[in-house]
Structure 1
Amino acid sequence: MENSLKNVLVVALGFLLLFTAYGGLQSLQSSLYSEEGLGVTALSTLYGSVLLSSMFLPPILIARLGCKWTIAGSMCGYVAFSLGNFYASWYTLIPTSILLGLSAAPLWSAQCTYLTVLGNRHAGRAGQQAKDVVNQYFGIFFLIFQSSGVWGNLISALVFGQSPSRVPTPMGPFAVTSRLLCLHRDHPGGGAPVLRGQRLPDGLRGHPVATNSTHRPSQELIFTLLGIYTGSGVLAVLLIAVFLEPLHSVQQQSDRKRLAFWSTLLATFRLLKDRRLQLLVLLPLYSGLQQGFLSGEYTRSYTSCVLGIHFVGYVMICFSATNSLCSLLYGRLSKFTGRIALYSLGSVIQLACITALLLWRPRSDQLALFFVFPGLWGMADAVWQTQNNALYGVLFEKDKEAAFANYRLWEALGFVVAFGYSTFLCVSVKLYILLGVLGLTMAAYGLVEHMESKNMARPQTEGQTSPTDRAEAQTQL
């Protein structure tokens, strides 16, 4: 097997094991720890820490440890979060959420840097276009990585499916009432229906109606699930530490950067002077918002509330499976279609999903629809995951660590906002926010593509600068 591809697979398998645990836990936080908003508060704290760590830690840790050991060390923070869930409380979940958040930005920045360097190296040796090889590597990575959601959620569904506390799902009009009450609870102050046109029957206002979301699995089953997740995380750390090859050339370049500590520290902010990055920050911001909605709102206010918590895993499997398959597909298609067509596809799919969720009146006898939405959402999310990372790697090839640190910073901000307003905004308002941000994001992305096309079309004669040189000069403005 070609050496670069072997390293791509090692990174991908390590992330598969790690996020089999974390992905399953994230999907369950808002449903499993709903008391006093502990679950969404932990997630909001987690991504707030990602936001802070993205500003400073990735360039520094990659410079000192290299990509390999930054990945391995950062994975330990995820294992700590799994351990914190064994005795979930404000005193265990919040500190471990902070630790995981501080680890996440260096982890993802090192992974993106590692794959970009491998892709550029292989392209140089094989005489191929660097952007095509980088796209292919990210496609392979996300094919394997996104399948972690399948395994993580399948494990949780199978474990919680043994719960004796599960009760039959209500059918017919009572299911609708249960659904309305559940979404009604998510409305600020509980004073008005959440979705436009939905009203609670007068005879049922003020009367408690049991919903599936109130039935918590036994502590024994929770411990079983957490034990499986923790073991998976430990295996991920060992796999990276033993089998992943370090990038010596990147390490040597990083060693030279150590001489300018403050320059390295502020690299993330200096790159924001690039006008292209100023426009592209909306891409990761929207990516965080839409992922936060699916894992925080859809799992709680749609799936868990109407069908029960034991269905959360199965529904998220559908998202992860389509995300994984489409990631590989998009990585290969981009060579023929270009990234503009894929971004257009992703935005149209998600626009349709958001509009449909605003109009949908879900009932428990509409079981297939609960799986259709996350499936389509996964098709769109695969565009953001593969193309965003490849786009940042190609446009900012000279400043990969700072560029990917910026990417994680703005994506984390999207998660923070999504989980932060989770407890005091209506579901419909959150959907309208997604619509607005999606429109702005695509407009900003289109402007960047227009700028790049003008740079590429400009004739290069002796004495004229290349697009890359102009981009570098632009960062100095």
Structure 2
Amino acid sequence: MESVDSRDEEAPLVADSLQVLTPKNYTRDVHILSCAFLLIFLAYGAAQNLETTVNTEGNLGTISLGILYTSFTCFSLVASLVVRVLGSKNALILGTTGYWLFVAANLFPSWYTMVPASLYLGFAASIIWVGEGTYLTAAALSHASNHKLHEGTVIGSFNGEFWGMFASHQFVGNLITLAVLKDDKGGSTSGTTLLFIVFLGVITLGTILMCFLRKEEDKGEKETADASVNFYSYLVSLSKSITTLLADVRMLLIIPLFAYSGLQQAFVWAEFTKEIVTPALGVSGVGGAMAVYGAFDAIFLVELLLRWLYFSGF
């Protein structure tokens, strides 16, 4: 009888421990997502910095970047629809293929490889960023619900980790460029080929890592899976949303800031590397100069995030 009673007394302890483990912990997915984006964008960011320097014939590098971001702008209008149809995890994985193809096209740079790759990357970039925001927000809300935490606090914490890691991609990626091309002042084909092969391997690792994300099943995705998407209704809703935004004075006032940010990035990634860094330091110097740029960019971005979290009460 004493042994039976002792087993009965121990049973609730086992049940309690199992109950504690029941709620899903989504911090694992945030770690994976942050690391995957770091790997993908450290390779892409460093490759992008070299575009106008290594693909100079007919301004192929400059035109490719122009096509890329024009495509990105256009496809962003329908990116949310694509993400709702595919689901955020599938959209993230599909989005990585655009970055892989763009870097691969640099191994055989020509109008027949770079232009299609740039067009496709514009589409891939639009869905990967919408997918990232959707997935991260859904994971934060699920984590907050499972663990009885404040939603705003968890969203701020998850975004802080993601952007904190993402901020270092320029620094890390350009250090790789510097290391691979340090003895290649002229930017030989063999040196840049080896560099792009390394970047392909890094992006592949990031894509594989993305596959380990837990598939989100938020309400929006369930509704989309159950019902067919009415494209016409989506376009009507989209046009109304754009009209509403353009009628908002605050949005009109912030548009110049967006334009300035775009011009600043275009100057740094294209003209600064081509016309200032390369003549002075060579192609290998692009990696060193942009690594310094990336380090300070990361420092100030992290500081901005910390300030935002502090003043938001997170």
Verify the 8 A CA contact 1:140 1:331 in the aligned structure 2.
Answer: no
**Given the alignment, which residue of 41, 53, 56 partners 1:19?**
41
Alignment partner, residue 309 of structure 1: 283
Q: Please state how far the C-alpha of 1:161 moved relative to its aligned partner.
A: 1.2
Superposition pairs of residues 343-354 of structure 1, within 5 angstroms: none
**Given the alignment, which residue of 248, 255, 270 partners 2:225?**
255
**Given the alignment, which residue of 60, 64, 70 partners 1:48?**
70
Counterpart amino acid of residue 269 in structure 1: S
Counterpart amino acid of residue 70 in structure 2: G
Alignment partner, residue 334 of structure 1: 308
Q: Please state how far the C-alpha of 1:128 moved relative to its aligned partner.
A: 2.4
Distance in 2, Cα, partners of 1:310 & 1:97: 24
Alignment partner, residue 429 of structure 1: none
**Given the alignment, which residue of 210, 224, 235 partners 2:205?**
235
Structure 1 runs (4+) greater than 6 angstroms displaced? none
1:319 equivalenced with 2:289 (yes/no) = no
Superposition pairs of residues 140-289 of structure 1, within 5 angstroms: 140-163=161-184, 166=185, 215=186, 217-241=187-211, 243-249=212-218, 250-255=220-225, 258-272=228-242, 273-274=244-245, 275=248, 277-289=251-263
Unaligned 5+ runs, structure 1: 167-214, 340-477
CA separation of 1:257 and 1:327: change in aligned 2, threshold 3 A: farther
Counterpart amino acid of residue 288 in structure 1: G
Alignment partner, residue 98 of structure 2: 77
Alignment partner, residue 118 of structure 2: 97
Counterpart amino acid of residue 301 in structure 1: E
Distance in 1, Cα, partners of 2:61 & 2:283: 14
Q: Tell me the TM-score normalized by structure 1.
A: 0.55
CA separation of 1:122 and 1:329: change in aligned 2, threshold 3 A: farther
2:175 match: secondary structure: helix
**Given the alignment, which residue of 18, 26, 29 partners 2:51?**
29
1:293 equivalenced with 2:267 (yes/no) = yes
Q: Tell me the TM-score normalized by structure 2.
A: 0.82
Verify the 8 A CA contact 1:135 1:331 in the aligned structure 2.
Answer: no
Counterpart amino acid of residue 137 in structure 1: F
Counterpart amino acid of residue 56 in structure 2: S
Distance in 2, Cα, partners of 1:326 & 1:285: 21
Verify the 8 A CA contact 1:143 1:326 in the aligned structure 2.
Answer: no
Percent identity over the alignment?
28
Distance in 2, Cα, partners of 1:266 & 1:292: 33
1:87 match: secondary structure: coil
Unaligned 5+ runs, structure 2: 1-20
2:71 match: secondary structure: helix
Q: Please state how far the C-alpha of 1:72 moved relative to its aligned partner.
A: 0.1
Distance in 1, Cα, partners of 2:256 & 2:149: 33
CA separation of 1:305 and 1:266: change in aligned 2, threshold 3 A: farther
Distance in 2, Cα, partners of 1:218 & 1:68: 39
Distance in 2, Cα, partners of 1:295 & 1:283: 18
Distance in 1, Cα, partners of 2:104 & 2:34: 23
Distance in 1, Cα, partners of 2:299 & 2:157: 13
Verify the 8 A CA contact 2:278 2:286 in the aligned structure 1.
Answer: yes
Distance in 2, Cα, partners of 1:11 & 1:322: 23
Q: Please state how far the C-alpha of 1:331 moved relative to its aligned partner.
A: 2.5
1:304 match: secondary structure: helix
Superposition pairs of residues 460-471 of structure 1, within 5 angstroms: none
Distance in 2, Cα, partners of 1:244 & 1:100: 22
Distance in 1, Cα, partners of 2:141 & 2:255: 24
Counterpart amino acid of residue 213 in structure 2: L
Verify the 8 A CA contact 2:25 2:143 in the aligned structure 1.
Answer: no
CA separation of 1:259 and 1:41: change in aligned 2, threshold 3 A: closer
Verify the 8 A CA contact 1:17 1:236 in the aligned structure 2.
Answer: yes
